[in-house]
Amino acid sequence: MQIAQRMRPLQANVFADMDRAKFLARSLGKPIVDLSLGSSDLPTPPHVLEAIAAALPDPTTHGYCLFSGTQGFRQAAARWYTDKFGVAVNPETEVLLLIGSQEGTAHLPLAILNPGDFALLMDPGYPSHAGGVYLANGQIYPMPLNPEDGFLPRFEDIPPAVLEQSRLMVLSYPHNPTTATASLAFWQTAVAFCQRHNLVLAHDFPYADLTFTGQPAVSALQADPDKTCTVEFFTMSKSYNMGGFRVGYAIGNAELITALRQVKASVDFNQYPGIQRGAIAALTGPQDTVHHMIDTFRQRRDAAVAALDRIGWAVPVPEATMYIWAPLPEPWGDRSREFCLRLVERTGVALAPGIGFGKAGEGYVRLALVHPPEVLEDAIAHMASFLT
């Protein structure tokens, strides 16, 4: 049997090593505090669950759902976007329902890249961005993100020969894992750069709401309101705690939306209509649970940063996302994988090693704030005993 060569880069994975280490520690009876995954522990809002439950016995939700069947969702998403970001959106041509935003960002390269074309990705970055490029037989040019640049890429450092062969740039702010945010001025520069070099700009935007500044994050489409080259990816997983329901959407350039829809038409029949009804209820209903979610993560961030400070581990205070991006203390320096494997083995506390997000992520670990403050404080106390 032959397994395609394009699968090779998908086979070695630091996070799979972490999964094995967690499994082993658990099977030896160690309780695990898992801070390695950004899967929210908060409940899906009750009115969303009620909409899904009400749909279950309705036989019109039981069959395949074609594109025309997603119109109600597309309209709700377009309205939500325009109310929040002030850019007009045509729900018929500029919105596409997705089975989670990861599905969309991973399928997008199939719609854009010819074999051998380059995609410009963030390093560190979300692993499925690279996965999608590998599946499309594309090449990756990692744009290193450094703290001295606020974890924003330096477009001027991309070699001209790579740029010539590049068709896609993927950005994502607020950023997982570094927690960095991007200003409108940054997005205007990014859009102008992509226009100049004939690149598609994909913005993965799951933490649109999850900022601690009192304002939503900036949308890339605010810098490209005519949607000349930009497509933006949204999820219900974070703002509405619906990660398990697998629902997201893309908004952007109509040609890109059509191409992505054509890829998906070969692959799936859209998300279950009952879940779409839940997502519509989330987007159009009361938003108090979103504010509660933001307050919850702010409290957790403050508790975790203070607890880390108490054990002598200084970390930057994140302005967004559900993570802390912590530079490893000496002597661990550039051994994030080993640090995380040993830590879970000895203490049961699981973190995500920075190297799993790319070469430039080495030297860091990511803590996901997916437990209440007292659990985070307890885990950090265990980390202190490991460090000493």
| Residue type (1 letter), 297 | F
Q: How far is the CB of 102 from ligand PLP (least distance, A)?
A: 3
Q: Does 102 bind ligand PLP (CB under 6 A)?
A: yes
Q: How far is the CB of 340 from ligand PLP (least distance, A)?
A: 17
Q: CB-hemisphere CA count at 13 Å for 192?
A: 8
- The region of 11-19, 98-106, 142-150, 311-319 touching ligand PLP under the rule CB under 6 A is 98-106
- The region of 96-104, 216-224, 254-262, 337-345 touching ligand PLP under the rule CB under 6 A is 96-104
Q: Does 126 bind ligand PLP (CB under 6 A)?
A: yes
List 144's β-bridge partners, or say none: 123
Q: Does 176 bind ligand PLP (CB under 6 A)?
A: yes
Residues 242, 69: Cα–Cα separation, whole Å: 21
Nearer to ligand PLP, 186 or 313 (CB): 186
Residue 335 CB: number of other CB atoms within 10 A?
A: 16
> Dihedral of CA 54/56/58/60: which sign?
positive
Residues 363, 55: Cα–Cα separation, whole Å: 48
- 252 φ/ψ angles, rounded to the nearest 5 degrees: 165, -160
Q: How far is the CB of 384 from ligand PLP (least distance, A)?
A: 27
Residue 146 CB: number of other CB atoms within 10 A?
A: 12
Q: Does 100 bind ligand PLP (CB under 6 A)?
A: yes
Listed residue (245, 251, 247) closest to 203, CA to CA: 251
Q: Are the C-beta atoms of residues 126 and 134 closer than 8 Å to each other?
A: no
Residues 34, 36: Cα–Cα separation, whole Å: 5
Tell me the DSSP string of 305-355.
Answer: HHHHHHTT------SBSSEEEEEPPTTTTT-HHHHHHHHHHHH-EE-EEGG
Among 21, 33, 34, 38, binds ligand PLP (CB under 6 A): 38
Q: Does 172 bind ligand PLP (CB under 6 A)?
A: yes
Nearer to ligand PLP, 216 or 248 (CB): 248
Q: Are the C-beta atoms of residues 63 and 264 closer than 8 Å to each other?
A: no
Nearer to ligand PLP, 203 or 337 (CB): 203
Among 109, 206, 274, 348, binds ligand PLP (CB under 6 A): 206
Q: How far is the CB of 175 from ligand PLP (least distance, A)?
A: 8
Among 204, 209, 224, 362, binds ligand PLP (CB under 6 A): 204
- The region of 5-13, 62-70, 99-107, 216-224 touching ligand PLP under the rule CB under 6 A is 99-107
Q: How far is the CB of 130 from ligand PLP (least distance, A)?
A: 12
Listed residue (336, 339, 366, 332) closest to 351, CA to CA: 366
Among 101, 219, 239, 271, binds ligand PLP (CB under 6 A): 101
Build a one-symbol-per-residue string for 223-262: x at contacts with ligand PLP by CB under 6 A, - elsewhere: ------------x-x-----x----x--------------
Complete edge-to-edge strand list for the sheet that includes strand 364-368: 323-327, 364-368, 352-353
Q: How far is the CB of 27 from ligand PLP (least distance, A)?
A: 26
Q: How far is the CB of 116 from ligand PLP (least distance, A)?
A: 26
Residues engaged in binding ligand PLP (CB under 6 A): 38, 100-102, 126, 172, 176, 204, 206, 235, 237, 243, 248
